[in-house]
Structure 1
């Protein structure tokens, strides 16, 4: 993808042509609406990823801004998402903030390369069963990780594996703070009830304001609970402060800490690169699926390769300002469209609103109860699991797809998403190849089915006709070799074998070797082979293997059934004269 071609395809530039004041009003309302949702959600996702809440705000500000300008979707709202939590949290636990930002930077480079290599359409080859499986698995893991904050306790059992999480949950339930539980339950109830009362209005701000007010009331009566102010702190000019800073994100190298010390090394890159590939793959899937949903809601068409380039640029720049991995957020995008968004300017306004909140309303953010943010993510996890969608598609799913789905779901919960996606994709590919292999058949035509021989009235003992249907690839090579057992009985008066290949779209190396052995076996018995109905790709492949009339005197190519019949008749006359 050339730079000029990419620039011409950016929806932001296209949408600014003929932009009107009426569009700006709608974009403004949509941007402010999404901003209200993005502020608490970005903070909660940052906390769940293992870093301070301000880094989630930095991600929404910087990545959201640049992806909106450079991306290939007109409506995508990008920022931190729940899907990344399961990957980012182990990185933070092992490598800290430096490792998280470096992995996000590497993922941005990978996304950029994917876009430049025009791999946007390839993402849709990931089966729906894999996507649904790991999405539901991520939802379960997110819900489990929110329980400590929801109950207001810090688990003494550390670890990100399934057993450690269960042990930690068992402990926090016994150490629950009833003030935190009350705030969490109130927030959870508000997030479920208020959308039904205030239709079309995002409940996040109202519910969290209520949580802060209830928290102040509990504090007045001497009850303690965990807030951002009491849990997090930051260092500025050598002094330590509580809460989150009301300052602009500072420019610094992602692989350096607050002292300026660099942690970048070849070993660190080798360790983080596989995780970065997973982040990039998941980010590509999430953003492109989000764009597809947006297209369906607005009757527009996104540009997948440009979207990957935009996601790459955003994820490359964001770590220099403290932002971590970002991608298209489906729920925020859908809400933006419902709020009237017309152009990517709505996403830009959303980022600027988050920046304004960071600078002006930090005292309010510091008072947010941790239990309320945990309740917010529990609602996100429930929406991500989408049990209504699962209930609708499950009865119609083939048995093999159910196996893939539950494999990805189980592996995501018990181990991690990297293993789940790898095994899920391998299993899906194996099942797909098994299905395709069943479609490929090699059949000897009976007297009633013969085509060419009947047209020229050739003696049935003189010519045999085979039909191959389906792709001739490594999955059916064994079937082709087994068919030679039937050919071994050919002999006597049989002099011609016609093989119809009209329904063979391609032949790979393994299939070619098996096919060549089959042809050589036929020719070893002194018979002529007529190959009929070859497409250009198959002709090219067979030609390179020496299975063409130019390189093999015992092989004929025919474009049609009639031409194959004529070739067979010529062979019949020739053999009759010789006899």
Structure 2
């Protein structure tokens, strides 16, 4: 098969080049300018809040939104993707920083970026769509609970030290310090929530997060409330350009960090492609999934080298971009430029923002992530899906996001295998539907088809995929006869696919037939099973194994074999 390198390279062509080639007009720039400003206003409070919740300083979130946001839009396989830090990373980033320090996170993000680039170049982007929905719903809801749990300290203004990483010790620490609750922090959190929820109901197009931060800051400053602020906890934010930095990276702990890096790469890949799919639905466009993964990889490498956090496509910000009129990658690049301007001009003012206001923002983010309706509907699914959902959810909350994803995918795979094995039916073939009869040239009717078979001939029909989860169903076929037949017909017209385990099972069946002196006739192979069986060198042997195109020919061949054996 000829490899078309031009077609291969086209999969990674940034949509920015496509837009420029089509022609970029001033009217396009004006729309992108408005959309970029709107998204920047939404992203400003989120970037700081997400960084603080991840266990680092607010400027790290801003640097990530600026550097990674610019690179994602520049190299993206989607026209309207907006990138930056997202809530999905909070639990894993918090744990990595606690265990390995910020240098460990830099290494983790670099590794994740390289993994994403490799995944894109290997064209694995198309495989992301096969991620089981119960796994996605389970870890997303689990992350929402973890985010809520991480904000209790700032929400209540608890006077305590660092918050434990694990869920149960964290709530135990909260319980021990509940008496230190600050009424001003609670009041500011409630005010922030009321502003966000109220604006979403009555003014949904207004930047609710930013207005909530401004309202809480004005109230806290006007009434001189004793509330902890960004400035009092982290000092004054730097009002300078992000600089290239290469802190100490514990390369000797690379293997310890690989699971976390893999989790970051997985989350970045899944969330960015989900965001691109949502954007396609809103714009009628079509993204390049493998090019999107490469863009995410480049952006994460860039973010790490400038002291940022992991980044990915953000669904909410991407949707805001589309609703605001953005239709090209320039809007996302301008959003990063506006964020940089905000940081340079407003850094002194950001220090007055109460942490309780940022907690209110993240509480709303957690509620949005929880997808309660989706969770509830999945709980009405078959038992296997419910097990996968709950397992992923509880492992995410109580143990570790990496373990949760791994366990969820493995259990989902076993559930799938079980269902496929149940879907494969092995029947005696003594009755056939009218459709079967018409296709195979036999007389219609419901009469017993076994009476139609020559004496000494038996027939069974397989329906469904013959793969490693169901191939053992062939093991006892020959044990169902009181008297061994001379010819055994295995009808496989309803087998769409077969794998190596399925072929191995057929080989074993042929060997057992040979030992018992039974001629095996396989009829009606479809294209894929026929190709796989041929490639794996399961070949005809006269008088022992035969392949025919349909059941009618199989019966005629069986008659001939029986006649020869009787002479």
TM-score, length of structure 2 as denominator length: 0.92
Q: How far is the alpha carbon of 1:390 from its aligned partner?
A: 3.6
- More displaced stretch, 468-477 vs 153-162: 153-162
Q: How far is the alpha carbon of 1:324 from its aligned partner?
A: 1.3
Aligned to 1:555: 545
Q: Does 1:524 align with 2:515?
A: yes
Q: How far is the alpha carbon of 1:80 from its aligned partner?
A: 0.3
- Measure, in 2, the Cα distance between the counterparts of 1:440 and 1:7: 37
Aligned pairs for 1:145-160 (under 5 A) are 145-156=150-161, 158-160=163-165
- More displaced stretch, 83-92 vs 435-444: 435-444
Aligned to 1:100: 105
Q: Does 1:81 align with 2:111?
A: no
Aligned to 1:321: 306
Look up the SS of the partner of 1:557 in the other structure.
strand
Aligned pairs for 1:269-418 (under 5 A) are 269-391=254-376, 393-394=377-378, 396-418=380-402
- Measure, in 2, the Cα distance between the counterparts of 1:520 and 1:117: 40
Whether the 8 Å CA contact 2:12–2:288 is kept in 1: the answer is no
Q: Tell me, which stretches of 5 or more residues in structure 1 are unaligned?
A: 233-241, 257-261
- Measure, in 2, the Cα distance between the counterparts of 1:459 and 1:348: 73
Whether the 8 Å CA contact 1:35–1:354 is kept in 2: the answer is yes
C-alpha distance after superposition, 1:376-413 (max 9, x if no partner): 1011111111224444x347522321221122111111
Aligned to 1:567: 557
Q: How far is the alpha carbon of 1:536 from its aligned partner?
A: 4.0
Q: How far is the alpha carbon of 1:193 from its aligned partner?
A: 0.9
Q: Structure 2 vs 1, CA of residues 429 and 462 (structure 1 numbering), >3 Å: closer, same or farther?
A: same
- Measure, in 1, the Cα distance between the counterparts of 2:139 and 2:452: 60
1:179 to 170, 180, 184: 184
- Measure, in 1, the Cα distance between the counterparts of 2:364 and 2:526: 54
- Measure, in 1, the Cα distance between the counterparts of 2:177 and 2:319: 36
The 4+ residue runs of structure 1 with deviation greater than 6 A are 447-458
Aligned to 2:28: 23
Look up the SS of the partner of 1:534 in the other structure.
coil
Whether the 8 Å CA contact 1:27–1:343 is kept in 2: the answer is yes
Q: Structure 2 vs 1, CA of residues 119 and 552 (structure 1 numbering), >3 Å: closer, same or farther?
A: farther
Aligned to 2:216: 211
Aligned to 1:244: 237
- Measure, in 1, the Cα distance between the counterparts of 2:88 and 2:330: 25
Aligned to 1:264: 250
Whether the 8 Å CA contact 2:471–2:505 is kept in 1: the answer is yes
- Measure, in 1, the Cα distance between the counterparts of 2:138 and 2:453: 58
- Measure, in 1, the Cα distance between the counterparts of 2:94 and 2:463: 49
Whether the 8 Å CA contact 2:11–2:288 is kept in 1: the answer is no
- Measure, in 2, the Cα distance between the counterparts of 1:565 and 1:399: 42
Q: Structure 2 vs 1, CA of residues 543 and 388 (structure 1 numbering), >3 Å: closer, same or farther?
A: closer
1:542 to 533, 539, 545: 533
Q: How far is the alpha carbon of 1:544 from its aligned partner?
A: 5.4
Aligned pairs for 1:428-467 (under 5 A) are 428-446=412-430, 460-467=454-461
C-alpha distance after superposition, 1:55-77 (max 9, x if no partner): 00000000000010101111111
Q: Tell me, which stretches of 5 or more residues in structure 2 are unaligned?
A: 444-448
- Measure, in 2, the Cα distance between the counterparts of 1:543 and 1:441: 24
Aligned to 1:472: 466
C-alpha distance after superposition, 1:76-116 (max 9, x if no partner): 11100001101110001111211112111110000111100
Whether the 8 Å CA contact 1:547–1:555 is kept in 2: the answer is no
Cα RMSD, aligned residues only = 2.3
Q: Structure 2 vs 1, CA of residues 186 and 172 (structure 1 numbering), >3 Å: closer, same or farther?
A: farther
Look up the SS of the partner of 2:475 in the other structure.
helix
- More displaced stretch, 101-110 vs 465-474: 465-474
Q: Structure 2 vs 1, CA of residues 390 and 411 (structure 1 numbering), >3 Å: closer, same or farther?
A: same
Q: How far is the alpha carbon of 1:445 from its aligned partner?
A: 2.1
Aligned pairs for 1:19-58 (under 5 A) are 19-58=24-63
- More displaced stretch, 91-100 vs 394-403: 394-403
Look up the SS of the partner of 1:466 in the other structure.
strand
Q: Structure 2 vs 1, CA of residues 574 and 454 (structure 1 numbering), >3 Å: closer, same or farther?
A: farther
Look up the SS of the partner of 1:85 in the other structure.
helix
Look up the SS of the partner of 1:475 in the other structure.
coil
Aligned to 1:231: 233
Whether the 8 Å CA contact 1:458–1:569 is kept in 2: the answer is no
- More displaced stretch, 110-119 vs 178-187: 178-187
Q: Structure 2 vs 1, CA of residues 118 and 99 (structure 1 numbering), >3 Å: closer, same or farther?
A: same
Aligned to 1:163: 168
1:514 to 502, 505, 511: 505
Look up the SS of the partner of 1:361 in the other structure.
helix
Aligned to 2:126: 121
- Measure, in 1, the Cα distance between the counterparts of 2:313 and 2:249: 30
1:495 to 482, 486, 490: 486
Whether the 8 Å CA contact 1:287–1:329 is kept in 2: the answer is yes
Look up the SS of the partner of 1:153 in the other structure.
coil
Aligned to 1:189: 194
Q: Structure 2 vs 1, CA of residues 20 and 178 (structure 1 numbering), >3 Å: closer, same or farther?
A: same
Whether the 8 Å CA contact 2:11–2:290 is kept in 1: the answer is no
- Measure, in 2, the Cα distance between the counterparts of 1:155 and 1:28: 44
- More displaced stretch, 210-219 vs 137-146: 210-219
- Measure, in 2, the Cα distance between the counterparts of 1:315 and 1:386: 27
